[in-house]
Structure 1
Amino acid sequence: MQSQRQASETYKPKRRTLPLHSAAWARLRAEVLAEEPLCRHCKERGMVTPATEVDHIEDSRADYSDDNSRENLQSLCKSCHSIKTSASMGKATSAGCDARGLPLDPDHHWNSGKATAKKSPATKKGPTACPSQFYW
Structure 2
Amino acid sequence: MNRWPYCTTAWRKLRSAKLDQQPMCVICERRGKTVLANTVDHIKPISQGGKPFPPLEELQSLCASCHSEKTHMHDKTRGNALGRRFKGCDETGQPIDPSDGWWR
**Which TM-score applies when normalising by structure 2?**
0.66
- Report how far residue 67 of structure 1 moved: 5.4
Alignment of 1:42-81 (within 5 A): 42-63=28-49, 65-66=51-52, 68-81=54-67
CA pair 25-66 structure 1, distance change in 2 beyond 3 A: closer
Instruction: State the number of aligned residues.
Output: 86
**Which TM-score applies when normalising by structure 1?**
0.52
Where do 5+ consecutive residues of structure 1 fail to align? 1-14, 106-136
Alignment of 1:30-109 (within 5 A): 30-63=16-49, 65-66=51-52, 68-87=54-73, 88-90=75-77, 95=87
CA pair 97-38 structure 1, distance change in 2 beyond 3 A: same
Does the aligned pair in 1 maintain the 2:70–2:86 contact within 8 Å?
Answer: no
- Report how far residue 58 of structure 1 moved: 1.7
Percent identity, please.
38
Bigger shift: 45-54 or 81-90? Answer: 81-90
CA pair 94-54 structure 1, distance change in 2 beyond 3 A: closer
- Report how far residue 61 of structure 1 moved: 2.2
Which structure: larger Rg? 1
Where do 5+ consecutive residues of structure 2 fail to align? 97-104
RMSD: 3.0
Structure 1 residues 62-90: Cα deviation after superposition (integer angstroms, max 9, x where no partner):
44753511110010000000110111212
Does the aligned pair in 1 maintain the 2:42–2:50 contact within 8 Å?
Answer: no
Q: Does 1:27 pair with 2:19?
A: no
